[in-house]
A = this chain, B = another copy of it.
Amino acid sequence: MLGTKQLDVFMATFKPLLDEELRAQVEKLEAPKVIKQAMNYSLEAGGKRIRPLLLFATLDAFNVNPANGLLPAAAVEMIHTYSLIHDDLPSMDDDDLRRGKPTNHKVFGEAYAILAGDALLTYSFQLIGEMERGTASDETKLKLILEMAKAAGAEGMVGGQVADMDGENKQLALEEVEYIHIHKTGKLLAFCVIAGALMAEAEKEQIDLLAAFAHHLGLAFQIRDDILDVEGSEELIGKPVGSDKVNQKSTYPFLLTIEGAKRALNQHIELAKESLRKTNLQAQLLFEITDLIAFRNH
């Protein structure tokens, strides 16, 4: 955390609202107790809530009440959480720890972990469908559902995960590594910004600029992740440092050297901010989130 004041106040307001929304949405499900526990376990594992924050901050930039975005923000956090649960499975990354806590399948077993992920993914679409009319028209809800499905599915996050697994133990070129990150992380981050813009009924030109902003922000996010994996503290990031190197993954520091990776990070941060400036929005919070991502230490 950088501790910039406006973003801190904003997060102190909306993060608890989101946490409560997530808890309440799972609580009200008429479903076997164990699946609700498994869903909640990973939702409550915390994390930075960077995706909801991006959505709220985009609404704020358009002078729309960020609280209007609670349901789509909860939806996107559920999709992110499901992807972590499935990625951690023994047949995927086989991780025992996530954010310093035992992974979902370590606590609930593989079968319930898979099903908790399935349930979170399914529920995310329901939450968009249940947005109140005052916050989004039927047409907007359908656009959100389409964009979210594209960002999360085979053409987005799932496709990125497949490419990531395909590339394991191979020496990848930079464009292959970027394909992975754009799809595995970038598309869902971009969806958050686009969702805010769609809810605000923004013009296409502004949506395109925000999409470009999110594209560079997503790459910056991943490059920072790779740099942290080399330089970060295990205690802060909650997973063993250097795990990418052990797995022989193709990372930015590996491809560009650590100095080259830092230069690339700064370039993407600058390009992100440039796109944001061109929107002519009062986007102070989005600028601060960009710096938060560029300089975070976990």
Contact = CB atoms under 8 A, between A and B. Distances in A.
Interface of A: 29-32, 34-36, 39, 82, 86, 89, 91-92, 109-112, 114-115, 117-119, 121-123, 125-126, 128-130, 138-139, 141-142, 145-146, 149-150, 152-155, 158-159, 161-163, 165-166
Contact of A115 (B110, B115, B138, B158): B158
A246 to B, nearest CB: 19
Given A114-B114, A146-B130, A162-B112, A153 B122 contact: yes
A275 to B, nearest CB: 23
Contacts of A35: 154, 158-159, 162
B146 A129 contact: yes
Given A30-B155, A32-B159, A162-B35, A91 B109 contact: yes
A159 B31 contact: yes
A162 B122 contact: no
B126 A149 contact: yes
Given A29-B154, A31-B159, A118-B118, 7 more contacts: A30-B159, A31-B162, A115-B162, A119-B153, A128-B145, A130-B146, A142-B142
Contact of A122 (B109, B110, B152, B166): B152
A158 B122 contact: yes
Q: Which 7 A-B pairs have the closest CB atoms?
A: A91-B110, A122-B153, A126-B149, A31-B154, A138-B138, A119-B154, A129-B146
A114 to B, nearest CB: 6
A123 to B, nearest CB: 5
Contacts of A32: 154, 159, 162-163, 166
B139 A39 contact: no
Contact of A123 (B82, B92, B153): B153
Contacts of A161: 115
A34 B29 CA distance: 35
Contacts of A152: 122
A122 B142 contact: no
A153 B138 contact: no
A22 to B, nearest CB: 14
Contacts of A110: 89, 91
A129 B128 CA distance: 12
A114 B91 contact: yes
- Residue among A86, A130, A159 with most chain B CB within 10 A: A159
A35 B153 CA distance: 11
A64 to B, nearest CB: 21
Given A125-B149, A153-B123, A162-B35, A114 B142 contact: no
Contacts of A109: 91
